[in-house]
Every structure is written in structure tokens, then in C-alpha cells.
Amino acid sequence: MQMETCALIDTDKLASFIGNRLNSDGGYGFARRLYGFEFPSSISETYYALGALSFCGCRIPSKAKTVAYLERSGVLDCAKCLPSAAFHTIGAFLLLGKKPDANPELVAFLERNIGEKSILCGKHRSFWLSADYGAADSPFSRIFYSANALRMLGKKAAGAAWLVRCLQREGGFGAGRADVVSTYHALSALLCAGGFLPDPKKTADFVERCSVASGGYSMAAGGAPAFVETTFFALFSLAMLGEKPKSPEKHIRFIASLQNSDGGFRRSAEMGVSTLANSYYAVGALECLSGDCHSKTHI
């Protein structure tokens, strides 16, 4: 993260906020220890914690312990698992500097998930409790998780080209109406598969129309309020399209304003709870605004 952007947030307090959620088993939980009890560790929260630390250039503590936690989960040894679980596990391993191996049957399962019928599976719920807004609700998330899990394993994520048929007249992707979350997931899956987008400029214009005057991006064009995760999805969508936001300064100010006194980030100006997911999306968005968003595992 560039120094001028990093200076707008307190990275030391953020690192402390994240560190307080590191459990004795090596994983990270949704909340900090309370009255001597740990909130159960989850794969997704562990990924968000590691990703946030990586985005802001902070040291990742107890790496060996967290690697052991991920290995004990057995996710990558399964013949089948939720694509989100595979994505978060593989991503967490890579953020810890470890190249993961996966059961060949799991690889084949992920490859099948990219097929057209997978989008008919309806809402895709997270296997572990997580404040993972949007990504758990988008009907395109299953394909996103599968394609990116394969990419991180060094496998070809073929078979996603059909997604272009889900382009809406507004220029974005969606089920009936275009939204930023579906657009981000579809673009990322297409990027993994080497797919062709017929009118990238129109899609970028749709994303920019989701910008909120006071900073940040909403779920859909002309909507409000802005949320930290939809801002992340919009900025990374623009980056994948080779475009930049028209008013980066207001987005930087919006994101920086979401940091709470405990060091974590809340979801929006109106919603005040700090979470690992919010913090991941916040510092990831700032990293993208700094111009360095293709060197990570996150898109």
C-alpha cells in the first residue's frame, strides 16, 4: 500500500485488532476472546485476517500454527466441499507462503462447478460463520469461488465463457438486474477462464454509475448507501477492466472514515461493528486505489 494512502489509517491498531482474534488453535475467529472463551475459528475469517494483514503490509504472526490449523481442517483432502471453503483455504495457504495440494477429485468437482447448471443452485451459503456479506448472496459466487480456487492451484478454469449471456442491458452482470457483487464475481471468473467480454467500457460505465456522491459504491446504479464490500467489488471490477475510478480521493476518504477506535473497520457510515471481513475489504480497496491490486491472490 502506498505510503500516502497507508497514512490515512492506523495500521498498528488494525494489526492489533486482527491479532486479538487469533485463537490458540492457529485460526481466527469472528470476535475476540471474551471472559476467557474463544469465538470458534473459521476458515473464512482466517482468510480475511491474513488477507487484511497482507494488504496493509503487516507481519503475519504464528504462521506455522495457522498452517497447522488449515491442514487439520482437511478441506483440500475432500472429494467435495463448498467452493467457498476451497477458495478460502487455498488463499490462506498462499498468504502464508505455502503452496497447497488438493485432492484430484476435488479439482474435478471445482471444474464441474463452473458449468452452466451451477448458477441454478440458488443462494450459496458459507459453510462457516462469517461476516461475508454479498459474496454469500450472489448467485455467481459459486462460479467465482470455483474458478479462483482452480487458478490459485495453477489449474485452468475453463468453461466460464457462457457467463457473458448473463450480461444485463445496464452493462453489468446479474440475475434479472445488474449489481456490483455479481459483476465482480462474473468478471473474475471470466478472467480466470480467459473469457471474452463484448463491451468492457459499457461494463466499466455501469460500475462507475454505482458510485455514491459522498464516496464509496453501492450495490446498484443510483443506489445508496455505500458499503465497504461493494466498494471493494467495484474498485476491483474496474481494475480487471483496465479502468480507474473517476474520483479516487472521495473513495479513499470514505474508506478511511470507516475505521473504528478498536482498529477494525465497520461496514458503512451507519453500521458500526468492526469485523475481519470489513477490515479485509477496506484495506483491499485502499490497496486497489493505490494502484497495486494485481500482485495479490485476491482477484
pLDDT digits (tens, 9 = 90+) for 138-150: 568 989 999 999 9
How many Å separate Cα 134 from the centre of its chain? 10
Say what percent of the chain tops pLDDT 70. Answer: 87
What's the whole-number mean pLDDT along residues 267-284? Answer: 93
Of 3-17, 34-48, 190-204, 248-262, where does mean pLDDT reach its minimum? 3-17
**Torsion sign over Cα 225, 230, 236, 241:** negative
Contact 197, 165 (CB under 8 A): no
**pLDDT value at 161 more than 90:** no
What's the grid cell of residue 43?
Answer: 476458515
**Strand ranges (E), the chain:** 28-29, 41-42
Q: Does residue 157 surpass a pLDDT of 90?
A: no
**Taking the CA atoms of the chain, what radius of gyration do you get in angstroms?**
18
CA dihedral 175, 182, 211, 129 (to 10 degrees): 120
Which among 222, 228, 239 has a CA at the least distance from the CA of 290?
A: 239
Q: Are 285 and 299 a contacting pair, CB within 8 Å?
A: no
Task: Identify residue 292 by its one-letter amino acid code.
Answer: D
Residues contacting 175, CB < 8 A, separation 6+: 119, 139, 166, 182
pLDDT score, position 222: 87
What percent of the chain has pLDDT above 90?
A: 72
Question: In terms of DSSP H, where are the helices of 155-222?
Answer: 180-193, 200-209
> Once rounded to an integer, what is the mean pLDDT over residues 179-185?
94
Q: Per-residue pLDDT tens for 54-79? A: 998 999 999 999 999 999 999 999 99
Confidence of residue 159 (pLDDT cuts 50, 70, 90): confident
Residue 296 CB: number of other CB atoms within 10 A?
16
Per-residue confidence at 134, pLDDT binned at 50, 70, 90? very low
CATH topology for the 3-289 domain? Glycosyltransferase (1.50.10)
pLDDT category of residue 119 using cuts at 50, 70 and 90? low
SS3 28: strand
Q: Is residue 156 very low, low, confident or very high in pLDDT (cuts 50, 70, 90)?
A: confident
Burial 94-129 (b: 16+ CB within 10 A, else e): bbbeeebebbeebbebbbebbeeebbeeeebebbbe
pLDDT value for 291: 78
Q: Which residue type sits at 22?
A: L
Neighbours of 152 (CB within 10 A): 21
What integer pLDDT is reported at residue 120 of this predicted model? 47
Calpha distance 258→184 (Å, rounded): 22
